Amino acid sequence: SDLLCSLYLMAGGAGEANLTALFLTYNMLAFVTQPLSGMWTDKSGECRRPLLASAAFLSLAAIATASLALNGYPQMGLYAVAILLGMGNSLFHAWGGRMVARITANDTRALGVFVATGAVGLTMGIVACSWMLLAVMLAAMAVLTYSALQLTPQVQAASTREVPAHPAAEVPLPWLILLALMLYVMFRSLVGEVLGSHIVKNPAMMLALATTAATGKVLGGWMARHSRKWIIL
């Protein structure tokens, strides 16, 4: 919620010329850099640093958003906030995905729940965008980060199962499948945005769509978990 809340709070002072560039900057850093964030998270040895870096980036972005409102939204400041938000989001998803995978031994049902909640959170950041929401989410993030830091050593001690590495001869096929999935998701997102751009979305409809999307992701994780049994049967 605080990601979209910060961006939409800046939107009023950014002007139309900067608005598209700001959202593109955020989205490129938030999603294109996730493979790099994942590599760093895997190689970091322990899971504290990516979480702390993510919390620091997002906290600085929230504080900078308030500072920009007091100083007339200078252009360089707008892009600095977009960069901080994008990198914070990227690191959080890499850290959170790794933690969920380790805690649940790669249970896709849990991973589905992890990715599903983001759809509702982003919609809340748009629908209920306000300085109060930003402050509440910043405080909640601090509390949850502290709680996660207390849990991290227990997870590391209890989790010993790692995903086995594929032999070199088997690498091309998984990468091709991954590329096909990425292209499909990109195409689906583009088509959905184009077709839905002419529909007037009120807050109730946006929340309903977000809840539907979240439910679909949760069900997708459950279906992926049980698909092997169905194939065998």
Q: What was the pLDDT predicted at 91?
A: 93
Q: What was the pLDDT predicted at 224?
A: 77
Q: What was the pLDDT predicted at 213?
A: 77
Residues 108-124 have a mean pLDDT of 82
Q: What is the 3-state secondary structure (H, E, C) of the chain?
A: CHHHHHHHHHHHHHCHHHHHHHHHHHHHHHHHCHHHHHHHHHHCCCCHHHHHHHHHHHHHHHHHHHHHHHCCCCHHHHHHHHHHHHHHHHHHHHHHHHHHHHHCCCCHHHHHHHHHHHHHHHHHHHHCCCHHHHHHHHHHHHHHHHHHHHHHHHHHHHCCCCCCCCCHHHCHHHHHHHHHHHHHHHHHHHHHHHHHCCCCCCHHHHHHHHHHHHHHHHHHHHHHHHHHHHHHC
pLDDT in tens, 191-211: 655 555 555 567 777 778 778
Average predicted confidence (pLDDT) for the chain: 77
Q: What was the pLDDT predicted at 54?
A: 92
